[in-house]
Amino acid sequence: MIQFDNPWMLLGLLAAALPVWLHLFGRRHAPVVQFSALDFILASNPKRARALRVREWLLIALRSAVLALLAVALARPLLPVFGGDVGPEVGTGTQAVVLVIDDSQSMLARDRGETLLDRSVARAAALLERLPPGCQVGLVATGFPARPLLRQLTRDRGAALDVLRRLPARPRRDDAGKALNLAQILLDSSDLPLRRLVVLSDLQATGWSDVSLPTRSIQGVPIQATIDRLESSSRENTAVVDAVVTGAADRANNQVRLEVAVTHFGEKPFRNYLNVQSGDREVKSLLQLQPGETVRRSFSLPAGAQWAEVSLPPDALEADNRRMVRLDASTALRVALVNGAPRPVPRDDEVFFAARALELGQSQTGQWLVDVLPADKLGAASLAETDVVVLANVAQPSDEALAALKSAVQSGAGLLVAVGDNLPDPPQGYLQGLLPATLVGQRHLMSVDGSARQATSLRWESAAGALQGPAMQLLGQSAGELSEALSGVAVQHYALVRPDAALAGSVVARYGDGAPALLLGSLGRGQVALLTTTLDRDWTNLPVQPAFLPLLHDLVLTLARTRASERRGPVEVGEVAQLARDGRADQLEIRYEGQGAGPRRVLPAALESGPTWTVAGLDEPGRYVATELRGGVALTSRPLLVVPPSTESDLRPAAKGEMVRAGQNPQAAHAGVVTAPGWAGVLVLLLGLLVVEAVLLARGSRGAAPVL
């Protein structure tokens, strides 16, 4: 059926009757003069007379057709195109239309030489070009995070087409629910009575199964929804769904173990090689997978390499065939217990209870690896791969060891200092520049004969409003379960700290007499905790109390927060990365290390709050380098890994849900028939009729009979 953008222009068809009316009624009538010779001429040549009449009526028909076609062209017809692929229908009339474009990873699947996203953009562009004048247009992309491509509805279709055609292809996961909410908000901002939502998507199972279409705007105005469902002819896809380093590096053999998981999402058996490239070393493993099967392969790689790339041969979706992995990023946290007072009897040793508590307090196997070091081995080499350092009754270290400790903490390591008999007298210079408070002395709650005179208790800090930063974080995690458990703790000896106005914000626990027992502070990107009593039973019974295990467990996790967040694994494309911030830094530089790398991005510290950097816009999978700067000088650099989502690798569409039911027949009613602009063809036909009329007039003038 032919549609018209300006149907009121069809009133011009009435002008087609004008030539006929002029011929029949509008010409002048000359007086009739009886002249028998003229009758003789006409009677003697009847063939010539009939030709004149036919030419005259043909000219009348041509002139009527010219006027009719002119009216049709001005009405801007939309002609049916059989077998076309120019997008869904949106009807006629001025309306507000929001196009929701699925730009998730599954839309990057290739079909007949183009991706589904390319096809979706082409269909959306064709739809925009066919909209009647005066329509309002909005664009929303569903790839995480869902975002409007135009800030508001616009009548400038040229600008909308430009933004649409520049939509980048990125392997994101779907954020369909938020995208539809954004579309509903855009439609609600329109003042037009007709509002339409058009979704162009493959309706991939993980992203669209539980999504509902909005049927009304926020103001209650009905929304007409159309689902344009795109499908790939091939769903043969095999994906690298995970790649992690397991356990600690084998220093003896200088190797690390990489475990790779591969899933086959196709419908036919898969047989090909999995390739792992690390530096100059390349390892292959033959895979034979049945549909839906997942296999894991382990590889031993050189420990000196920082990166490895896992790859599969090309298939329908190439975005999930490659994955970068950090070889220096084992998920296990490394904790070093530095023993300042080793003893032959284990239960009397300075770190015995701490080591057992960490061993028993793991929430999962391999959560951390514990090394016990003598105090004389403390240095840059022993701290190079350590995430949390525990100094248990360690005397004042050497300048080199103190510098190594500061460097490790500033780069993100955590430090727990527990004092003891090795505390110097006076203690004011102990670990200067590292501790969150200055030690000024000791308090002995013992009588001369060694019996307890006034053992004090240990209580959790209740003034939550005064706590800040990591102290507040630890209090929030542990206050509920530790407050009651600390009631049985008795302390006979502890170190005193100098009172300070800023001290209240770092105190996590106090003794019964109000003196600080546990303090937390920041240094660079790392955290430092000070326990003013011992980790063994010399000064307190804390190590044998039920509160000791959860307290030490939460302390280690809090101190390892920086390294744990950076080691928790890569971030997915589109996600926001949280990086610990060095308090000295005033800028963070993000640089992408890959093909087609764009210009570097610099985040100013003035826009950040708290102890972390918030890094958004990580739209390209691969390696990044984050460098903290102060005054343009680099302080620390660390790698950042971005990977494609594994949830978008199954190319099968959702099997149930409202979106599936709505998308079953978006084009079925048209049976492959869509419309395309037809006024250009009408104008060409109009021009052809004018040429035919001119030819008839020219021939008629040459062959006309002489006027009598």
Q: What is the pLDDT of residues 684-694, one digit of tens each?
A: 776 777 777 77
Q: Which of 641, 639, 642, 624 is nearest to 572 (CA)?
A: 642
pLDDT-derived band of residue 59, with 50, 70 and 90 as boundaries? confident
In the predicted model, is pLDDT for residue 446 greater than 90? no
Mean pLDDT value of segment 256-265: 93
CA distance 494 to 363: 31
Q: What one-character-per-residue DSSP string does 98-124 give?
A: EEEE--SGGGG-EETTEEHHHHHHHHH
196 φ, ψ (degrees, to nearest 5): -135, 140
In the predicted model, is pLDDT for residue 708 greater than 50? no
CA distance 649 to 208: 14
Count CA atoms within 13 Å of residue 358 on its CB side: 24
CA distance 119 to 167: 12
In 441-495, alpha helices (H)? 469-485
Cross-sheet strand order for the sheet of 281-289: 281-289, 270-278, 307-311, 322-326
* Inter-residue contact 563 to 387 (CB < 8 Å): yes
Q: Which domains does the chain have, with CATH numbers?
A: 3-76+681-702 (no CATH), 88-233+651-675 (3.40.50.410), 238-326 (2.60.40.10), 333-563 (3.40.50.880), 574-643 (2.60.40)
CA distance 256 to 251: 9
SS3 assignment, position 596: coil
Chain segment 118-137, per-residue pLDDT in tens: 999 999 999 998 888 889 99
In the predicted model, is pLDDT for residue 320 greater than 80? yes
Chain segment 213-253, per-residue pLDDT in tens: 888 777 778 888 888 888 888 889 999 999 988 765 555 56
Classify each residue of 636-666 as buried b or exposed e, where b means 16 or more C-beta atoms within 10 Å of its C-beta. Answer: bebbbbbbbbbbbbbbebbeebbbbebbeeb
What is residue 94's DSSP assignment?
A: S
In the predicted model, is pLDDT for residue 338 greater than 80? yes
* Inter-residue contact 532 to 497 (CB < 8 Å): yes
Mean pLDDT value of segment 31-52: 60
SS3 assignment, position 380: helix
Lowest mean pLDDT among 274-288, 518-532, 585-599: 585-599
Structural element, H or E, at residue 46: helix 46-74
pLDDT-derived band of residue 18, with 50, 70 and 90 as boundaries? low
How many angstroms from the chain centroid is the CA of residue 57? 70
* Inter-residue contact 676 to 227 (CB < 8 Å): no
Pairing of strands 414-418, 96-101: unpaired
Higher pLDDT, 340 or 459: 340
650 φ, ψ (degrees, to nearest 5): -80, 115
Q: Is the dihedral of CA 6, 11, 15, 20 positive or negative?
A: positive
